[in-house]
Amino acid sequence: MTDTTTHPVASAATVALTPAAPAVPAANPVLQTPPAAPADAAAYFAADLAFHADVSDVAATLAAAAATGADPGFVVVDTRSTASWNQGRVPGALHLPNALIPEQAERLLDRSVPVVTYCWGPGCNGATRAALALARLGYPVKEMLGGMEYWIREGFTYETGAGPVTPAADPLTAPAGPDDCGC
């Protein structure tokens, strides 16, 4: 059976009072899933900052502490293997490979001092595994985003057995001038 009833056409006043959702093209992968509500986004991003620190912030804090003789307020932990540690490490970092965390963390770390873990880089989840292990043991912990890869790519000095090395910054990952990126 076909519906033959007539439907009233919306008047201009009715249309003006009805907010229309913005049209999102079906092929738009960015907005296909809409952004979270602002309050939800704020909670998520605040939590993200509670779990992560970036290479530039860690480097700046360590440099300022070294220049003034102050305590940076955290300890940096390199979670990589001994061979990787020997290739280069963040100056002043403590070497605590993931496999040794359960047996050595209590001897090497103070539960009242926040720990910042790192591994090779964004393609490695060793720092995440270490942060999880340390959190389960009762340590306050953050993961350094970018790891050793971005420490080097941003041109920060690293230590080796032969001494310090200061690489040229990759212009695609670090500010071109003497200032920080402003973020």
Q: What percent of the chain has pLDDT over 90?
A: 75
The per-residue pLDDT for 49 is 97
Query: Does residue 16 register a pLDDT over 70?
Result: no
C-alpha R_g of the chain: 25
Beta strands in the chain (DSSP E): 52-54, 75-78, 94-95, 115-118, 141-145, 158-160, 163-165
Angle between helices 126-136 and 101-108 (to 10 degrees): 70
Question: What pLDDT sits at residue 173?
Answer: 82
Query: pLDDT tens for residues 52-82?
Result: 999 999 999 999 999 999 999 999 999 999 9
Whether this model's pTM surpasses 0.85: no
Handedness of CA 130, 131, 133, 134 (dihedral sign): positive
